[in-house]
Amino acid sequence: NAGVTQTPKFRVLKTGQSMTLLCAQDMNHEYMYWYRQDPGMGLRLIHYSVGEGTTAKGEVPDGYNVSRLKKQNFLLGLESAAPSQTSVYFCASSPGTGYLNEQFFGPGTRLTVL
């Protein structure tokens, strides 16, 4: 099992450019999440999905869009990147909620927006 994988690992964008981050999990988990991690801020939830074809907003959704067309994949899109979106992005998945909410994390994508 590869667990949770993220592509790419690093990316540098110019302001206004767009890109898509890909997250894939092979654990057949229903729930998937996108977080951003910034120094001193911990992890903040951007968007999440409770199943194939569903998405919902988290704490900091502005400037991002997501799609979950297949159960194993969760895509995070930046339509027009801004320097404030420079961050490390983590994808996670979990088998359920509450006591099943043990989230498994990918290795992260380090994004710099110039």
Chain contacts with another protein (rule: CB under 8 A): 4, 31, 33, 40-43, 45, 48, 50, 90, 92, 94, 97-99, 101-108
DSSP string covering 6-49, please? Answer: EE-SEEEE-TT--EEEEEEESS--SEEEEEEEETTTEEEEEEEE
Residue with tokens 């320097």: 83
Rounded CA-CA distance 67/54 in Å is 8
Q: Nearest distance from residue 91's CB to another protein, in Å?
A: 9
Residue among 16 and 53 whose Cβ is closer to another protein: 53
Q: How far is the CB of 57 from another protein (least distance, A)?
A: 12
Please say which residue, 17 or 60, places its beta carbon nearer to another protein. Answer: 60
* Least Å from the CB of residue 52 to another protein: 15
